[in-house]
């Protein structure tokens, strides 16, 4: 049990680190988008800045103007992003919480992430906002005055590089988000070995009663009998543990005909139940028989094992008729006849495989045990199980008034066990969607500026008889080439980053071809659409108007 708790704590820490990494990667994608727009805007103003420098404007004066403009833009963006992060975090926690299972997360803005965001925003404004001023100061005056549009190659080179960076980061974020979403979908679709719907779990705390085990067991049994006859109750059973509520106790066991070390302590889990427990939970009986009401204290002790027990302890051999000995070689040793085999059921988390498990009857378990609490599981005949709370509480209180009761639907308990995975899927999906939005906006902005700077060239081509579709493909072709490079780099980045999320993904290869291919395809479609809009608008340019303006 300690090993499982350590593993879950380690997994939670890795989930938090992955969330922080996703935030930083999203910030990097946002920076790439902002830098693309700022650079394209600066290139479009290159002629203006060069003329200012040629007329005697100092590079520092021009830089101050650009820096103020860029800082205002960066400050507004950072403030808006911080507000969205704050509100979004609160909405996310509210969405994940339920009255039965509130989620307690510190949604205050992390100082390190905030500092990183501010630093990236400031660096973006400083680098991409002021660099054009220093470049303009080195342009000879005659060159600044005689040409407005000869830097097409430079524009294309810089803009194309930024497009590739945006797309690469977006591919990494989208593919990572797809992996976490698919992993969560696999977890929720995993066969549980029981039916959580319409099940109400009542924890019966016996701390106010005498510590005598027989008295407590009798109180639990009276509660089960009282609830079983209530209107609207399809079945009821008592157990030491319920699915998803814990792993069970782990005694040393021996099985007749099995290897001596097949049941070492910690490998085999046990649960103590009442008759009709498997019927109440909907766990399938594979072979043999179920516990019967006639299996009581004083009758031959019996046990039922799960399929994993048969595979791992017995090597797949038949289990029926064998003798299961608990605590062999000690004064506590007790033997039980295996009378049935049931399907595997999830006991800790849907992420964990079912351990080898045996089930024994609480009434026949004569090994000293405190039984400080037991779980009464009630299956409703129809409707929400919470509707039975009042009648169940009244029946149990009348039968065993010293028991303290708490109620929780098993479906809520199952939902709570997947809180971290659900949170990571939401965050990954959010950052993936944000990356798509930023990539689309950045691509549109860069392509729009690039086409506006080539209006004269486009007008000449149209005047010389070029087809408008050819102009569209001319503008779009360069964008798609850079997008292809960005996708290739992004896939490589995703392959490299996969090593860091191996332990966080369930039942999905971390280098899943479908997820990576889907991310690449989505980015390609968005990029094509973002590039097609300004290219189509440029192709509709009236060549006479453009040539007259030039």
Residue 143 sits in the same domain as residue 153: yes
pLDDT of 150: 47
pTM of the complete model: 0.70
Which of 402, 417, 432 is the endpoint of a domain?
417
For residues 55 and 51, what is the distance between their CA atoms, to the nearest angstrom? 6
Q: List all residues 6 or more positions away from 207 whose beta carbon is below 8 Å from its beta carbon.
A: 372, 373, 404
| Alpha-carbon distances, residue 257 vs 287, 307, 313, 321, 334 (angstroms) | 19, 17, 10, 11, 17
Which residue range is the domain that position 489 belongs to? 2-191+418-549
Q: What number of residues does the chain have?
A: 550
For residues 524 and 484, what is the distance between their CA atoms, to the nearest angstrom? 8
Nearest C-alpha neighbor of 485 from the set 176, 171, 175 = 171
Residue 203 sits in the same domain as residue 183: no
CA angle 196, 197, 201 (to 5 degrees): 60
Residue 249 sits in the same domain as residue 379: yes
Which of 417, 434, 460 is the endpoint of a domain?
417
Residue 333 sits in the same domain as residue 248: yes
Residue 379 sits in the same domain as residue 320: yes
pLDDT of 7: 47
Residue 29 sits in the same domain as residue 172: yes
Residue 184 sits in the same domain as residue 38: yes
pLDDT of 137: 54
pLDDT of 65: 75
Which of 417, 447, 477 is the endpoint of a domain?
417
Residue 386 sits in the same domain as residue 439: no
Counted domains in the chain: 2
Q: Residue 422 corresponds to which tokens in the numbers above? A: 């659900």
Residue 475 sits in the same domain as residue 392: no
Residue 235 sits in the same domain as residue 170: no
Residue 67 sits in the same domain as residue 163: yes
Phi, psi of 339 (to 5 degrees): -115, -5
For residues 237 and 201, what is the distance between their CA atoms, to the nearest angstrom? 10
Residue 457 sits in the same domain as residue 383: no
Q: List all residues 6 or more positions away from 5 whose beta carbon is below 8 Å from its beta carbon.
A: none
Question: Per-10-residue mean pLDDT for the chain, 550 residues long?
Answer: 47 49 53 58 63 69 73 72 69 64 61 74 68 58 52 55 80 86 85 89 87 85 92 92 75 80 67 93 93 89 94 88 89 91 85 87 75 88 91 93 90 82 81 80 76 76 81 80 88 84 79 87 86 80 68
| Alpha-carbon distances, residue 547 vs 447, 448, 459, 460, 475 (angstroms) | 21, 19, 7, 7, 19
């Amino acid at each position: 049990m300690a090993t499982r708790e350590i593993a879950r704590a380690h997994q939670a820490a890795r989930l938090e680190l992955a969330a922080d990494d996703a935030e930083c990667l999203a910030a990097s994608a946002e920076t790439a988008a902002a830098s693309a727009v700022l650079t394209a805007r600066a290139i479009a103003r290159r002629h203006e800045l060069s003329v200012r420098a040629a007329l005697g404007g100092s590079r520092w004066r021009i830089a101050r103007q650009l820096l103020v403009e860029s800082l205002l833009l960066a400050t507004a963006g950072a403030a808006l992003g911080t507000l969205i992060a704050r509100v979004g975090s609160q909405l996310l926690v509210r969405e994940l919480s339920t009255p039965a299972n509130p989620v307690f997360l510190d949604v205050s803005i992390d100082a390190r992430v905030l500092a990183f965001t501010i630093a990236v925003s400031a660096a973006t404004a400083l680098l991409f906002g002021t660099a054009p001023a220093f470049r303009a100061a080195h342009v000879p005056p005659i060159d600044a005055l005689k040409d407005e549009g000869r830097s097409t190659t430079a524009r294309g080179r810089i803009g194309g590089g930024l497009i590739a960076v945006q797309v690469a980061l977006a591919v990494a974020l989208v593919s990572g988000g797809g992996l976490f979403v698919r992993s969560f979908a696999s977890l929720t679709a995993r066969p549980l070995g029981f039916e959580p719907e319409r099940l109400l779990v009542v924890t019966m705390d016996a701390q106010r009663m005498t510590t005598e085990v027989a008295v407590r067991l009798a109180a639990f049994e009276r509660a089960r009998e009282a609830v079983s006859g209530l209107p609207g109750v399809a079945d009821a059973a008592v157990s030491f543990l319920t699915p998803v509520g814990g792993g069970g106790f782990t005694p040393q066991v021996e099985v007749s005909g099995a290897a001596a070390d097949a049941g070492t302590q910690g490998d085999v889990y046990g649960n103590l139940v009442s008759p009709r427990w498997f019927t109440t939970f909907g766990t399938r009986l594979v072979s043999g028989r179920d516990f019967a009401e006639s299996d009581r204290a004083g009758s031959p002790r019996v046990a039922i094992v799960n399929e994993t027990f048969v595979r791992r302890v017995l090597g797949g051999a038949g289990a029926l008729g064998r003798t299961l000995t608990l605590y062999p070689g000690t004064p506590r040793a007790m033997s039980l006849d295996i009378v049935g085999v049931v399907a595997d059921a999830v006991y800790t988390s849907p992420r964990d495989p079912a351990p080898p498990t045996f089930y024994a009857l609480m009434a026949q378990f004569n090994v000293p045990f405190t039984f400080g609490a037991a779980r009464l599981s009630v299956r409703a005949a129809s409707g929400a199980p919470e509707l039975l709370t009042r009648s169940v509480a009244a029946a149990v209180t009348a039968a065993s008034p010293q028991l303290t009761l708490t109620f929780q639907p098993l479906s809520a308990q199952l939902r709570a066990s997947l809180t971290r995975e659900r949170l990571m899927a939401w965050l990954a999906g959010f950052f993936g969607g944000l990356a798509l939005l930023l990539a689309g906006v950045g691509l549109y902005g860069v392509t729009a500026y690039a086409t506006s700077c080539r209006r004269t060239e486009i007008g000449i081509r149209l005047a010389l008889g070029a087809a408008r579709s050819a102009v569209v493909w001319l503008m779009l072709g360069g964008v798609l080439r850079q997008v292809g490079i960005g996708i290739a780099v992004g896939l490589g980045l995703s392959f490299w980053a996969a090593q860091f999320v191996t332990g966080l993904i369930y039942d999905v290869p971390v280098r899943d071809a479908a997820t990576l291919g889907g991310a690449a395809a989505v980015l390609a479609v968005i990029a094509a659409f973002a590039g097609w809009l300004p290219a189509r608008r440029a192709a509709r340019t009236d060549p006479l108007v453009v040539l007259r303006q030039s």
